Amino acid sequence: MNEEGAGAPRRLPEPSAVDAVRAYAAQTRAKADRMAAVLADIAATGLPAVADCTPWEALRERALARLSAHREKAA
């Protein structure tokens, strides 16, 4: 932080902005917790067998189909 800004009073955000930032922080924390759980499971049990995994192409096609259906509903 530079010397000029050190003594400047802080401007508080609007309550709706505060709520939005807190909600984003909670969502980010939840995502990090899920990722930590997955990594802990991998550390404890190892990676799943390739036969038990879904190829990324299949995941991509499902996601594209879902997006296409959503777009058709919005139109």
What are 3's two structure tokens?
A: 């010397």
> Collapsing DSSP states into helix, strand and coil, what is residue 7?
coil
Say which residue, 46 or 7, is predicted with more confidence. 46
Q: What is the predicted pLDDT for the residue at 71?
A: 85
pTM over 0.75: no
- Tell me what percent of the chain is helix, strand and coil, each rounded to the nearest 5: 75, 0, 25
The string of pLDDT tens digits covering residues 9-65 is 888 899 999 999 999 999 999 999 999 999 999 999 999 899 999 999 999 999 999
The single-letter code of the amino acid at 66 is R
What gap in Å lies between CA 29 and CA 38, rounded to an integer? Answer: 14
Residue 21: which residues within 8 A CB-CB, separation 6 or more? 13
